[in-house]
Structures are given as C-alpha cells and as structure tokens.
Amino acid sequence: MVGSEVTGLPLLTILIALPLIAGAACLFVRAEAARWIALVTTLVELVISIYLWVQFDPNGAQWQFQEYVPLGGGFGWALGIDGIALVLIQLTAFLMPICIGASWRSIDRRVPEYMAAFLLMQALMFGVFAAQDLFLFYVFFEGGLIPMYLIIGIWGGAERIKASYKFFLYTFLGSVLMLIAMIYMAQTAGTTSIPKLMAYDFPVDAQKWLWLAFFASFAVKMPMWPVHTWLPDAHVQAPTAGSVILAGVLLKMGGYGFIRFSLPMFPDGSAMFVPLVFVLSGVAVVYTSLVALVQTDMKKLIAYSSVAHMAFVTFGLFALNRQGIEGAMMVMLGHGLVSGALFLCVGVVYDRLHTREIARYGGLSDNMPGYALLFMVFTMASVGLPGTSNFVGEFLSLIGTYHASTWAAIVATTGIILGAAYMLWLYWRIAFGTQRNADAAAMPDLSAREWWLLAPIALAVFWMGIYPESFLRPMRNDIGRLLTRVERVAPQGDSRPTPGKAREKLQLVGEEESHS
C-alpha cells in the first residue's frame, strides 16, 4: 500500500524527497537564494511533520503511513513510522529550521553547498527514522556520514580535517560490523522487513553475536564510553549548526537503533549484556562528568555533558522496563532540544567574540540580560530541574534503573549532581561575576533572529517538562509492544520488596532453640 490513509499522498517519501530536490536546487543559485530555499524547505518540512503528528493515531496500528516499493534482491523502498519514530521525526523537523537560521550570517563562505549539505542531511535523517527495510535503514544511517563529514571538514574550525576524519572513520568502523550482522539476519530470517524481524526469534547463541555487532555501531554513534572520543573533536570543530544537528539528532540515532533493533530483535542478547551496558554507562556518567568539569572550552564541556546524558539513555533502555524505556526516549528528546540550544548559546557569543574560551567571558548578565535568561533556562533544563524536559526523562530513567539494579541507580544519580556542578559553574563563569574583559562586556544582547532561534526551543523545553503526556502518548503502545518482547528477560532487580518472615515463626524457632 502506498500513501497515507487520509490524503493518499506518500507523505514520508515527500518528507525525504523534498529536501533532496531543494538541496540540488541550492547548488545552482546564489548565496542569498540558497538561504531562503533552505529555510522555506525546512519550514515546509516542519509543517508536514506536524501534520503527521496530528494524523498519527496513537491507538491505531503499530505502523502507520506505510509505503512499499520493491527494488529487487530482497531490497525495497519500505517506509513507515510508529510512535517512537514519529517523535524523533518531530525533533529533527523542529531543529532543522533553527539550524538554517543559526547559519544565516555566520556562514558566509560557499553558502549554496552548505545549505545543500544540510538539506541532504535532513533527508537522510528522516530516512533513518522512517526506514522499514534493514538495508534501507543502513543506507540512510551510513549515508548521513557524508554530509556531516563535509560540514565539519569544510566549514569547521582550525582542526577540522582531523575531526572530520575521526568522525567518519570511527562511525564507519562501528557500522560495518552491523552490516555483516544485517546480512546474516536477512539470510536467516528470510526477510529484510524490520517489522517482521522485530517479531522473529533468532537462536539465542546467534543473538549474542548479533547484539555485539549492532552494539559496535550504536555505541559509537550514541556515543558510549570508551568509544566517545570522536564526539568532543567533532563538536568543537563543527560549525554551530553542525553541532546542533550532531547533538540534537545524530546521537539519537544510536538510541533509536537500540530501541528498534537490539532490544526487540535480540532480547536474550540484550539481557545477557545488561551488566556490560550498565558498567559502561556508569563509567560514562562519572568519568565524562568529571572531564566536563575541567574543560576550558565551552563546546567541549557541552560535548562531554552529552556523553554523560546519553548514559542515562542507555541505563534506561537496558533496565528493560516501561519507566526505563519511556525515560530513555524522553531523555533523548529533551537532550536533543537542550544540548542543541546550549550549542546555539555558545554560537551566539562565539559569533560576537570568536572564542569559546570560558575565561574570556564573564558577567554577561549585565550587558546581555536576554541571553543570560535563555541560557539559564537551558542550563537548568540540562541540570534536570523539575518543570523542564530533562527532569521527566532523567527521573523516569532513574526509576527504571532502580528497578533493575539499585547500585546502577546510585551511580547514575551521581551524574545528576555532577551535572549540576559543571553546568551551574559554567553558567556562573559566563553570566555572573565581574566583567573581566572589555570586549566581552561590550557585546550586544540577542538580536531578533537569535530570539527566534532560542525562544521556540525554550517553549518546547517547558512544554515537555510540564505536560510530557503529549510526547509519551504516541509512544506508549509501541513501548508496550517492545516490553512484550523483553519483559521475559528483564533483570530481576534487588529493589523488589522481599517477603518478610512471620513473627510467630521466628518466636517458635527461638523457643525451639531454647528448648534444645
């Protein structure tokens, strides 16, 4: 069946094809026209994806808006979304116009190519979340490396070449093992359809290897300690909008991969490796938070904080219970917004002073009150203050982890404290204190364009924090279906109430002892 139930239009194909066409058009026009083409396209994409959200029936079929065109060789143009993919598509569509806006003036070199790369990136990201064919997913997943490689390498900072290679080769290395696993899966199960594979039971012995192969890819993408080292480099060197999309969407592909592949397809494999994931996530939370604490570069600090936040996602996912998985999804959404916004905040001051050294700033709340306000909102959200998006996610994910293992929950919770430490200290050093540098003190407050970039994110952060149900509702049934696959193997935590021993019995035992 091709097309949505309501309009008969193949909406997902349009969502993917439109930026491709617009991106190609950008290559043939001048800089100003390319900017407008990109902005209008991303806004239209946002409208289409909101329409998808409205049309999506949370109580309907698992897969909606399905499309299928066979291409031969067992490979097909198979698209379709469930609630999990839907919310991630919303996140992507929401961040893209903001990225284009953030690059409006700060990118003045080779603008048409830049806009084309971003639009290509957008098409591939939608493809990742909408793909229902194993290999189609891989094509989109890996294809995304090319535009990001170019974005970092062409428009990045001084060390951009090294960072772009590191980004590409690291993620490529992780993913090729997944490809081998995918070929094996297609051969064993006789299908490349993701929905069918999600219900297929692979032999337990094979699951172990398949899980490891997928883990190699998603752990790098996520990124998990110790394969996170590409991320700080990529973030620091990438232009602002590149960092936003990297932190906002690309990292979420790792988590999406776990939810879509590792958990439902290899439940036994997942259960087997829960301790591994918990240990790696625990190290990530503590270690990368401490590393973030000592950074002198703003972008690097936020990059390390991303690694720590992503560890909440892996904790939550591999708790294999409802709170954990819902929490992981909410952390992904919240972090996508908040870390994107924080990178934008860095970009705002970087555009003015061309440095990311924390020590060069100070007391910005005096001359940039609007900036200080929004920066504070996002700092608080990143810390996980109740009322903001990250609180919901982190809290749920911690509850889930607690059910699985109290020790893991204790380690994970230190991340909240450490997170508060490095974020609040960062905010204090930048916004408060005395104004040490005359040039930093002379910076003007946010322009109207910058308000338009940051204010919508702030609203979304509060919406998600105050009424998360809008985002949880479309995912609820899908997470329920996922749970039916993994519940059987979920770790039996040490936090369950243990049956108490009856008092009389104890006395009896005592009496017996005294008699004997």
Partner 1 sequence: MSRFAAILPELILSLGGTVLMLVAAFTGRRGSALVSWLAVALLLVGTAALVGAPSHAGPQFDGLISADLFASFGKAIMFPAAAVAIIAAHGWFEQDHEHSSEYAVLILFAAAGMSIMVSATSLISLYVGLELNSLASYVLASYRRSDERSAEAGLKYFVLGALASGILLYGISLLYGFTGTTNFAGIAAAFARGAPSLGLLFGLVFLLAGLAFKISAVPFHMWTPDVYEGAPTPVTAFFATAPKVAAVMLATRVCVDALAPATDAWRQIMIFAALASIFLGAIAAYGQTNIKRLLAYSSINNVGFVLIGLAGGGAVGASSVLFYLAVYVPMTLGAFLCVLWMRDSEGRPVEDIASLAGLSQTRPGFALAFAVFMFSLAGVPPFFGFWAKVVVFNSALKAGLFPFAVAGILGTVIGAYYYLRIVKVMYMDEPAAPYARVREPLQGLLILLSALVISPLGYLLIGPLQSLSDKAAGSMF
Q: How far is the CB of 172 from partner 1 (least distance, A)?
A: 5
Long-range contacts of 62-70 (CB under 8 A, 24+ apart): 62/195, 62/477, 62/478, 62/481, 63/132, 63/195, 64/4, 64/5, 65/4, 65/11, 65/12, 66/1, 66/132, 67/1, 67/2, 67/3, 67/10, 67/12, 67/13, 68/1, 68/2, 68/132, 69/2
Comparison of 113 and 445: residue with beta carbon closer to partner 1 = 113
Residue 157 near partner 1 by CB under 8 A: no
Smallest Cα–Cα separation from 246: which of 160, 183, 306, 291? 306
Which stretch in 29-37, 135-143, 382-390, 439-447 sits in contact with partner 1 by CB under 8 A? 135-143
SS3 per residue for 189-219:
HCCCEHHHHCCCCCCHHHHHHHHHHHHHHHH
Rank residues 27 and 359 by Cβ distance to partner 1 and give the closer one: 27
Tally helices (H) and strands (E) across the chain. Answer: 26, 2
> Looking at beta carbons only, is 150 or 303 nearer to partner 1?
150
List, as one string, the DSSP characters of 271-297: HHTHHHHHHHHHHIIIIIHHHHHT--B
Residue list 187-206, contact with partner 1 (CB under 8 A): 187
Nearer to partner 1, 217 or 389 (CB): 217
Only segment of 5-13, 182-190, 453-461, 464-472 that touches partner 1 (CB under 8 A) = 182-190
Which tokens go with 287?
Answer: 């270690």
Among 2, 47, 61, 180, binds partner 1 (CB under 8 A): 180
H or E segment and range at residue 76:
strand 75-81
Site size toward partner 1, by CB under 8 A: 37
Q: Using the rule CB under 8 A, which residue among 39, 177, 198, 385 binds partner 1? A: 177
Residue 8 interacts with partner 1 (CB under 8 A)? no
Q: How far is the CB of 23 from partner 1 (least distance, A)?
A: 12
Contacting range for partner 1; rule: CB under 8 A; set: 141-149, 276-284, 385-393, 431-439 = 141-149
Binds partner 1 by CB under 8 A, chosen from 1, 8, 73, 514: 73
Tell which positions 75-94 bind partner 1, by CB under 8 A: 75
Q: Which stretch binds partner 1 (CB under 8 A): 147-155, 279-287, 324-332, 340-348?
A: 147-155
Q: Which is nearer to partner 1, 145 or 409 (CB)?
A: 145
162 binds partner 1, rule: CB under 8 A: no
Please classify residue 413 by burial: count the beta carbons closer than 10 Å to its beta carbon, then call 0-12 exposed, 13-18 middle and 19+ buried: middle
Is residue 14 within the footprint of partner 1 (CB under 8 A)? no
**97 contacts partner 1 (rule: CB under 8 A):** no
164 vs 339, beta carbon nearer partner 1: 164
- Which part of the chain contacts partner 1 (CB under 8 A), choosing from 56-64, 158-166, 433-441, 485-493? 158-166
Single-letter amino acid, residue 33: A
- For 339-365, b where at least 16 C-beta lie within 10 A, e where not — what string? bbbbbbbbbbbbebeebbebebbbbbb
The 3-state DSSP class for residue 123 equals helix
Please name which of 180, 191, 325 lies closest in space to residue 258, comparing C-alpha atoms.
Answer: 325
CA distance 303 to 298: 9
Q: Is 184 in the site for partner 1 (CB under 8 A)?
A: yes
Q: What are the residues binding partner 1 (CB under 8 A)? A: 27, 70-73, 75, 110, 113, 124, 135, 138-140, 142-143, 145-146, 149-150, 153-154, 160-161, 164-165, 168-169, 172-173, 176-177, 179-180, 183-184, 186-187
